[in-house]
A and B are shown apart, each in its own frame.
Chain A
Amino acid sequence: MKRLIISAAAAIITLHAGAAVAAEGKEISARDWSFSGVFGTFDRAALQRGFQVYREICAGCHSLRLIAFRNLADLGYGEEEIKAFAAEYTVVDGPNDEGEMFERAAIPSDRFPSPFPNDKAAAAANNGAVPPDLSLIAKARKGGPDYLHAFLIGYEEPPEGVELLEGTSYNGYFPGGQVAMPQPFFGDDVEYGDGTAATAEQLAADVSNFLMWAAEPNLEERIRMGRGVIIFLLVFTALLYAAKRKVWADLH
């Protein structure tokens, strides 16, 4: 019975994997993230570095519209630091008592303002392609953070015979190979406060960490609760099994 349930689960996973292989783009290798596995936690230092990468590089084009500044507390920032981050941004508020919309500095309860007022403006400024919002990107692509990491450092010369459209770059991990986003990281694109060497590899890993947090901010709580639930159910199920054996003993 258990074996059958396991094989049923295996069948689902196989089906799932089959679907993933069918997607275009190069094979992605699985990285060992701090948040993978049943004891996974976010690496706070990596999250903060990743946030810095987002702020200084990605945010020029990509919105993060589902995240509020207050959420940055998860990254280990204090209240004052979060207020300072928020104050760097300007948001439109209103209408005030005179009926006018006005601009003010962002506060922790505001969400990250988007770099473009709307999709049309974003497309116009980016050669016709809208840069996707990054709030859920780590869950919205097959391969998740592994894909993001591979993609961000996967830029290369187009293979022989591939004629790139104007304004596109070649990236083997992107379905179709031609991507409107130019290569983001070359190494030393930001200066990390903690002295970590800002190689392109490091930048990609850090920002993938940050984006996984952005997509799944409750990951740590979920995994922690899951461990407790599983331990409880193991004991509880063992008791139920013992009870079943005892009840059925007089029949056998």
Chain B
Amino acid sequence: MSDGKANNPLVRMVGGTIKWIEYRLPIFSFIDHAVGRGYPSPRNLSYWWNFGSLAGLALVIMIMTGIMLAMQYTPHVDYAFDSVERIMRDVNYGWLLRYLHTNGGSFFFIVVYIHVFRGLYYGSYKEPRELLWILGVALLVLMMMGAFTGYVLPWGQMSYWAATVITNLFSAIPLVGDWIVTWLWGGFAVDNPTLNRFYALHYLIPFVIVGVVLLHIWALHRFGSNNPLGIDTKGPQDTIPFHPYYTAKDAYGVGVFLLLFTAVVFFAPNLMAEPENYIPANPLVTPAHIVPEWYFLPYYAILRSVTFDIWFLSAKLIGVLLMFGSVLILFVIPWLDRSPVRSAKFRPIYKQFFWILLADCVVLGWVGANPAEPPYLYFGQAATAYYFFHFLILLPLLSFFERPRPLPSSISEPVLKGGGTPAGAAAKPMEKAR
């Protein structure tokens, strides 16, 4: 601080107040260690590391628009649909709030899926970040619950039938299945009690998510971010302070995100919406094709891929178990993948299979959007089998049979030694990632 500023009475007063608060509640040093100069981060994080902060932004957008929508929404089967239309037509900027909220859900999933696949590619789930990863998978599960309960609220045809189909899945559980379904519904059909409890849960879940996010960030700060090389930082030469470097980089990411997000909200707000959901719920008319939102399509394909009973297990039960298993399996990835090397950059075989897995998930999504009949059914069965093959067989085997490439000795090595290349060349890969 220059002398001129130090003598400014206002600056002195603000500085004094900060010191006064900091002594009693060290919140400023807390922020500094969380996202400030006091948080050293690897110097080589690519733009793929922007998606964590973007997921946080999406969560904030969802909570803010959601609370304002809740002020106008009526959770009753007779009024829910019309109250949403009232928001769209008569509430000031209600259409904007609702389109931000519905598309915000989709964009939340887009950034989180990228965030998850980034973790898979760079081995971010490996020791010592297993708990960080597990908390992340828990967040994904919570998000899915939030998205599902939220989708039911407008009480359109797809809302009603999605609620019916998904809650009915629990009836596949032997012995207690029907009892559980009745308990979930709060009655003997999807009806007003179901809508009421879904609304209560939809308002609750985001705050549970906030809590788990705090744990997720806490666990992150224990060892800091993983990085594209997947090797540990070995000293100050490998790190840069989070602020201003990554605050500036994240802010730029926010700008790009908002551009894409608002482009959809303002110019194609129903791009990812199901037209059927603009028809009020009617328990007597089943839609021709019941399809979930795009972000659930891969799981839906897995659910419908099982068409045969095995021993005493019904096809429905196996489908349900596989669908839930496809998410739950993510929890144990740190123990399925035993390779000591984190980044796929140095794992030539894993790298290939990573892209095949990604393609497999896209195929599952495509199958999920189509009717459960041949040929889609066969693609769905093959893709489901491959999904589990990847995690249960391929990952453990690769840990033993793959010969990783030699790892660089440190993050800053290419910068400091350079191997005859000018220092500026080290920046190239990062710039390219843009």
Q: How many of chain A's residues touch chain B, expressed as a range? A: 35 or more
For residue B12, CB closer than 8 A to chain A, the reply is no
Main secondary structure of the interface of A (DSSP, over half): helix
Q: Do B244 and A247 touch (CB < 8 A)?
A: yes
Task: Pick the contact of A225: B48, B96, B258, B275 (CB < 8 A).
Answer: B96
Minimum distance in angstroms from B324 CB to a CB of chain A: 23
Q: Which residues of B contact A11 (CB under 8 A)?
A: 362
Known contacts A15-B294, A19-B369, A240-B251; A140/B279 CB under 8 A? yes
Distance in angstroms between the alpha carbons of A226 and B244 in the assembled complex = 31
| A-contact bits for B80-100, CB 8 A (1 contact / 0 none) | 001001001100000110010
The interface residues of chain A lying within 8 Å CB-to-CB of B297 are 15
Expressed in whole angstroms, the Cα–Cα distance for A9 and B66 within the complex equals 24
Contacts of A142 in B (CB 8 A): 275
The answer, among B244, B258, B260, B366, for a CB contact under 8 Å with A5, is B260
Please measure, in the bound complex, the distance between the C-alpha atom of A233 and the C-alpha atom of B262, giving whole angstroms. Answer: 9
User: CB distance A237 to B240 under 8 Å?
Assistant: no
A226 to B263, CA, bound (A): 7
Query: Which residues on B sit within 8 Å (CB–CB) of A19?
Result: 289, 291, 369-370
The interface bits of chain A over 188-227 (1 if a CB of B lies within 8 angstroms of the residue's CB, else 0) are 0000000000000000000000000001011000110111
Contacts of A38 in B (CB 8 A): 267
Residue of B nearest to A21 (CB): B370
Contact A18 B370 (CB under 8 A): yes
What is the distance, in angstroms, from B214's C-beta to the closest C-beta of chain A?
26
Distance, CA A66 to CA B288, complexed state (A)? 25
Decide if A241 touches B255 in the complex (CB within 8 Å).
Answer: yes
- Residue A175 is within 8 A (CB to CB) of chain B in the complex: yes
Contact in complex: A18, B262 (CB < 8 Å): no
The answer to whether B20 has its CB under 8 Å from any CB of chain A is no
- A223 / chain B contacts, CB cutoff of 8 Å: 266-267
Per the bound structure, the CA–CA distance linking A110 and B244 in Å amounts to 57
Question: Once the chains bind, are B252 and A222 in contact (CB under 8 Å)?
Answer: no
Asked whether B353 is an interface residue with its Cβ less than 8 Å from the other chain, the reply is no
Candidates A12, A139, A222; contact of B294 at CB < 8 Å: A12
- Give complex CA distance A219, B289 in Å: 28
- B269-A24 in contact (CB<8A): no
B95 and chain A: residue at smallest CB distance? A218
- B252 adjacent to A16 (CB under 8 Å): no
- Chain B interface mostly: helix
Query: B276, A236: Cβ atoms under 8 Å?
Result: no
CB distance from A216 to the nearest CB of B (A): 8
Residues of chain A with a CB closer than 8 A to B263's CB: 226, 230
Q: Chain B, 151-194, contact with A by CB distance < 8 Å: what is the 0/1 string?
A: 00000000000000000000000000000000000000000000
Contact check: which of B47, B258, B269, B288 meets A233 at CB < 8 Å? B258
A–B complex contacts, Cβ < 8 Å, 30 sampled: A1-B47, A12-B271, A12-B272, A22-B289, A23-B288, A66-B82, A139-B278, A140-B275, A215-B278, A217-B89, A218-B89, A218-B95, A222-B269, A223-B266, A226-B263, A226-B267, A230-B263, A233-B262, A234-B259, A237-B255, A237-B259, A240-B251, A240-B252, A240-B254, A244-B249, A244-B252, A251-B240, A251-B427, A252-B423, A252-B424
| Residue positions of B touching A, CB distance < 8 A | 43, 47-48, 82, 85, 88-89, 95-96, 99, 106, 110, 114, 240, 244-245, 248-249, 251-252, 254-256, 258-260, 262-263, 265-267, 269-272, 275-276, 278-279, 288-289, 291, 294, 297, 362, 365-366, 369-371, 423-424, 426-427, 433-434
* Contacts beyond the supplied A71-B89, A244-B252, A247-B245: 10 A-B pairs with Cβ under 8 Å: A5-B256, A12-B106, A16-B294, A18-B370, A141-B275, A175-B288, A222-B269, A227-B266, A237-B256, A244-B251
